Structure 1
Amino acid sequence: MLIEGEDLVKEIINGKRLFEDVVLPEGFDFSPYIATLNDTLRKSSYKAEPLTINGGNFAGINAEGIFLRSLNAVWEPEKPLFFVGANLRNADLREANLQHSDFTDSNLSMANLEGANLENAMIHHANLMKTKFVNTNLSNADLSTSNLEQADLTDANLCGAGLANTNLHKANLTGVEFFSTDLRDADLSDAVLTCSCGSGDFTDANLSNAVVKKVEYNHSMFSRARFKKAVLDESSFYKIDFSDAFFEKASFKSVYAEHIDFCKANLRGVSFKGSELRKVDFTDANLEGVDFTDVMLEGVYFCRTNLVGVRNIDKAKGFGNCVFVDVSISEEQKKVIEGLIDNSSINHFVVKKEEVK
C-alpha cells in the first residue's frame, strides 16, 4: 500500500503501531520529523507494544538516527522489510526482528543492532563501519562485500553467514560463532578473533596482526591466508588447511595443532615455543628462523622443508617420531637432529642441501 511519508509519521505520532504492506515513495526524507518521531516512540511502551510492520518497502529513505528499537519484536512478521539504499546511519535497532530483511547498499554505520535478529537478512555491499552487532543473530545472513571496519560483533551468531570480500579491519569478533561461515578474501587485519570456528572458509583472507588467542578452530580452510605478525597463542587447531599461507613473524606459542597442512606455507621467523604438533605436514614449507623451544613433535612430516636457521632444535622433543625427506638444513643442525633420533625406528634422514646461504 503506497503511503506518503508524512502520513505514516502522523499515524505513528497518533498512536498507531501496527502496519502492513507499507510502501513509501523512494528516497523519502524523514530528517524533518526524526526528533518528534523518536520522542514519541521512546516515550511509548516500545517493549510491550513496539512498532510492528508486516511487510514494507523503504528503499532509499533518509532516516539517520531513527529510533526503531524492538521493531517487530512482539511477533514474527510474515513479510520482510526492504531498506535497499537506505540511510540508517546511527539508527537504534536494538532487539529488532529483521529476519529476511534487505539492507543491500544501505548505510548502517554506527547504528546499534544489539540483540537484533537478522537471520537470513541480505546486507550486501552495505556500510557497517563501527556498527554495533553485540549478541546479534546474523546466522545465514549475506554480508558479502560490506564494510565492517571497527564493527563490534561481540558474541554475535555468524553461523552460515556470508562474509566473503568484507572489510573487517579492526573489528571485534570476541565470542563469535563461526560455523560454516564464508570469509574468503575477507580483510581481518588487526581484528580480534577470540572466538570458536568450525568448517569456516578463510581462503585468501588477510589476518595480518590479528589476535587469534585461546581459540578452538577445527575443520577449516586458511589456504593462501596472510597471518603476518598475527598472534595465535594458546589456541587449539584440528584438521586445518594452512597450505600456501603466509605466517612471517607470527606467534604460535603454546598451541596444540593436530592434522595440520602447512604445505608450501611461509613460516619464516614464527615462534612455536611450547607448542604440541601432531601429524603436521610441512612439505615444501619455509621454516627459516622458526623457534622450536620446548616443542613436542609427533608424526610430523618434513619433506623438501627449509629448516635453515631453525632455533633451539636441541630443546625440541619427538624428532624420533618425525620423517625427514630432502630437507634443506645446515650440517650442524643435521648432527643435532641425528643425535636426537639415534634410538628411533626411523632410520632415514635425507638431506637436500647442507650449505647455509
Structure 2
Amino acid sequence: MLIDGEELIKELVKGKRLFEDIIVPEGFDFSPYIPTVNEVLRKFPYKTEPLTINGGQFIRIKAEGIFLRSLNAAWEPEKPLSFIGSNLKNADLREANLQHSDFTNANLSMSNLEGANLENAVFQHANLVKSKLMNANLSNADLSTANLEEVNLANSNLCGAGLANTNLHKANLTGVEFFTTDLRDADLSNAVLTCSCGSGDFTDANLTEAVLKEVEYNHSIFTRARFEKARGDESSFYKVDFSDVFFEHASLQYIYAEHIDFCKANLKNVNFHGSELKKVDFTDADLSGADFDQVTLDGAYFCRTNLVGAKNIDTVKGLENAVFIDTVVTSEQKKFIEKKMEGSSTKRFIVKEEQP
C-alpha cells in the first residue's frame, strides 16, 4: 500500500502503531518532521506497545536522527523492511526487531542498534561508522563490503555472518562470537578481538596491530593474513591454519598452540616467550630473530625453516623431540641443537651465519 510520508506521520500522531505492507514514496524527506515523530514515539510506551510495521519499503528516505527504538519488538513480523540507500544517521534503533531487513547502501553511521535483532539482515555497502551494535544479534547477517570502522560490536552474535571485504578498522569486538564467520579480506587492523572463534575464515584479512589477547580460536583459517605487530598473548589456538601469514614483530607470549600450520609464514622477530607449541609445522617459515625464551615444544617440525638469529633457543624445552630437515641455522645453533638431539637421526642443517 503506497502511503504518502506526510499521511504516515499524521497516522502516527493520531496514535496508530500498527502498519502493514506500506510503501513510502522513494526518496521521501522526513527531516522536517523528525522532531514531531520523535516526540510522539518517545511519549508512547514503546517498550510495552512499540511501533510495529509488518512489511515496508523505505527506499532512499532521509530520516537522520529518527527515534525507532523497539520497532517491531512486540512480535516477530512476517515481512521484512527495506531501507535501501536510506539516510538513518544517528538513528535510535535500540532493541528493534529488524530480522531480514535490507540496509544495502544505507547510512547508519553513529546510529544506535544496541540489543537489536538483525538476524539475516543485509548491510552490503552500508555505512556503519562509529555505530553502536553492542549485544546485537547479527547471526547470518550479510555485512560484506560494509564500512564498520570504529564500530562497537561488544558481546554481539556474529555466528554465520558474512564480513568479507568489510572495514572493521579500530572496531571493538570484545566478547563477540565468531563461528563459521566469513572475514575474508576484512580490514581488522587495530581492532580489539578479545573474543571466541570457531571455524572462522580470515583468509587475506588485515589484522595489523590488532589485539587478540586471552582468546580461543579453533578450526579457523588465516591463510595469507597480516598480523604485523599484533598482540595475541595468553591466547589458545587449536587446529588453526596460519600458512603464509605475515606475523613480523607480533607478540605471541604465553600462548597455547596445538595442531598449527605455520608453513611459509613470516615469523620474523615474533615473541613466543613462555608459549607451549604442540604439533606445530614450521615448514619453509622464516623465524629469524624470533624469541623462543622459555618455550615448550612438543612435536615441532622445522623443514627448510630459517632459524638464523632466533633468540634463546638454549632455553627451549622439548627441542630434542623436534624434527629438523634442511633447517637453516648458524654454526653455533647447529652445535647446540645437535648436542641436544644426540643420537637422533631427524636432524639435517644448512649452516648460514648471521650478517653483521
Contact 2:250 2:270 in 1 (8 A): yes
Residue pairs, 1:192-203, within 5 angstroms: 192-203=192-203
Which residue number corresponds to residue 30 of structure 2? 30
Task: Quote how far apart the aligned CAs of 1:335 are.
Answer: 1.2
In 2, distance between residues paired with 1:132 and 1:162?
18
SS at match of 2:259: strand
Which residue number corresponds to residue 172 of structure 2? 172
Contact 2:287 2:306 in 1 (8 A): yes
SS at match of 1:36: helix
Residue pairs, 1:42-61, within 5 angstroms: 42-61=42-61
In 2, distance between residues paired with 1:349 and 1:32?
77
- Residues 120-175 of structure 1 deviation map (CA, whole Å, 9 limit, x = unaligned): 00111100000100000000000000000000000000000000000000000000
Which residue number corresponds to residue 224 of structure 1? 224
Task: Quote how far apart the aligned CAs of 1:355 are.
Answer: 3.0
Residue pairs, 1:118-133, within 5 angstroms: 118-133=118-133
* Residues 1:77 and 2:77 aligned together: yes
Residue pairs, 1:142-291, within 5 angstroms: 142-291=142-291
In 2, distance between residues paired with 1:35 and 1:154?
30
Task: Quote how far apart the aligned CAs of 1:352 are.
Answer: 2.0
Aligned-partner residue type, residue 137 of structure 1:
N
- RMSD (Å), alpha carbons: 0.7
Which residue number corresponds to residue 292 of structure 2? 292
- Residues 197-229 of structure 1 deviation map (CA, whole Å, 9 limit, x = unaligned): 000000000000000000000000000000000
Number of residue-to-residue matches in the alignment: 355
Note the residue ranges of structure 1 that are not aligned, 5 or more in a row.
none
SS at match of 1:141: coil
SS at match of 1:220: coil
Which residue number corresponds to residue 349 of structure 2? 351
- Greater shift, 329-338 or 232-241, is seen at 329-338
- Residues 172-202 of structure 1 deviation map (CA, whole Å, 9 limit, x = unaligned): 0000000000000000000000000000000
- Residues 278-309 of structure 1 deviation map (CA, whole Å, 9 limit, x = unaligned): 00000000000000000000100000000000
- Residues 316-357 of structure 1 deviation map (CA, whole Å, 9 limit, x = unaligned): 110111000001100001111122223x6x333111233333
Identity of aligned residues (%): 71
Contact 2:222 2:243 in 1 (8 A): yes
Task: Quote how far apart the aligned CAs of 1:258 are.
Answer: 0.3
Contact 2:173 2:193 in 1 (8 A): yes
Aligned-partner residue type, residue 24 of structure 1:
V
In 1, distance between residues paired with 2:239 and 2:23?
50
In 2, distance between residues paired with 1:279 and 1:299?
5
Note the residue ranges of structure 2 that are not aligned, 5 or more in a row.
none
Residue pairs, 1:316-355, within 5 angstroms: 316-342=316-342, 346-355=344-353
Contact 2:334 2:351 in 1 (8 A): no
In 1, distance between residues paired with 2:285 and 2:187?
24
In 1, distance between residues paired with 2:353 and 2:135?
55
In 1, distance between residues paired with 2:64 and 2:138?
22
Contact 2:237 2:257 in 1 (8 A): yes
* Residues 1:17 and 2:27 aligned together: no
SS at match of 1:260: strand
SS at match of 1:49: coil
Contact 2:30 2:62 in 1 (8 A): yes
- Residues 9-60 of structure 1 deviation map (CA, whole Å, 9 limit, x = unaligned): 0100110000000100000000000001101100110011100000000000
In 2, distance between residues paired with 1:205 and 1:53?
38
SS at match of 1:339: helix
Q: Give TM-score scaled by structure 2 length.
A: 0.99
SS at match of 2:31: coil
Aligned-partner residue type, residue 245 of structure 1:
V
- Residues 244-302 of structure 1 deviation map (CA, whole Å, 9 limit, x = unaligned): 00000000000000000000000000000000000000000000000000000010000
SS at match of 2:350: strand
SS at match of 2:144: coil
- Residues 222-241 of structure 1 deviation map (CA, whole Å, 9 limit, x = unaligned): 00000000000000000000
In 2, distance between residues paired with 1:101 and 1:349?
59
In 2, distance between residues paired with 1:178 and 1:112?
22
In 2, distance between residues paired with 1:348 and 1:136?
52
Aligned-partner residue type, residue 296 of structure 1:
T
In 2, distance between residues paired with 1:355 and 1:149?
45
